[in-house]
Structure 1
Amino acid sequence: MAWVFLLVASMLEPAWATAIKQSDGLTKPWPSVLGLSGASISVLFLTFAMKDLPAGTAYAVFVGLGAVGVVAAGAVWLGESLTLPRLVFLSLILIGVIGLHFVDDGSSTTPSLAP
């Protein structure tokens, strides 16, 4: 279930980042509210995922998938360019994210304070 939470958190990132971009420096109320609310919900789902996944894996996947999603959203809705070099480097991010999924053993690496 942790991976599902992580995917939901990552899928929300393009929505809130695009809203923040549209907020014009948080000067437009509705995009600002949508962006900040979306970011809060996204981090909430990330928190749920981190209960069962190593923090480094969860955060790297969250940021990686979020970055790819934000670039895609920017290209579709904001008219931002998708050049070949950008696509190559985004592919490398996706390869890393997929690799992290396969090497994760599913156990949390939270250190214990008990001796």
Structure 2
Amino acid sequence: MSWLYLGAAVVFEVVVAISAGNAKGFARPGWTIATLVSGAIATYFLSLALLTFDVGVGYAIWTSAAGVGIVVLGALFFGQKLTLNKVLGILLVIGGVVGLQLSGAA
């Protein structure tokens, strides 16, 4: 169940990033509310996941997976370039997350 909680936390963290980008420095109230609410939900699910995961490992997986998701969605839907360096970075992040999981921490 902790993986489901962590997955939900990642999804809502991606929503935080997209909403914050559209909030334009919190000048747009709807996007600002979406940022704050999704941030609270992401933190709630992360806290549930951390009942099982080591804090450092769970947090690292959460931020890494969300970061990769944001880069990929940016390339797919927001016209951001997916360069070779970004792809290599994503592969390094995935390798690090796999390494953390193989450490037996969760």
* TM-score calculated relative to the size of structure 1: 0.85
Gaps of at least 5 residues in structure 2 are: none
Matching residue of 2:39: 39
Whole-Å separation in 2 of the counterparts to 1:20 and 1:92 = 26
The answer for the alignment partner of 1:58 in structure 2 is 58
Contact 1:26 1:32 in 2 (8 A): yes
Cα distance per residue 1:41-68 (max 9 Å; x no partner): 0011000011111001000000100110
Question: Which residue identity lines up with residue 21 of structure 1 in the other structure?
Answer: G
Matches within 5 A, 1:1-115: 1-106=1-106
Return the alpha-carbon distance in structure 2 between the equivalents of residues 12 and 95 of structure 1.
23
For the residues of structure 1 that align with 2:35 and 2:71, how far apart are their CA atoms?
16
Q: Which has the larger radius of gyration?
A: 1
Deviates more, 1:67-76 or 1:20-29: 67-76
Task: Return the offset for 1:94.
Answer: 0.9
In angstroms, what is the RMSD of aligned CA positions? 1.2
SS in 1 for 2:12: helix
Higher helix share: 2
The TM-score, its normalising length taken from structure 2, stands at: 0.92
**How far did residue 97 of structure 1 move?**
1.1
Does the CA contact (< 8 Å) of 2:23 and 2:29 recur in 1?
yes
1 CA distance for matches of 2:75 and 2:16?
15
Aligned-pair identity in percent equals 28
SS for the counterpart of 1:86 is helix
AA aligned to 2:34 is L
Q: Which runs of 4+ in 1 moved over 3 A?
A: none
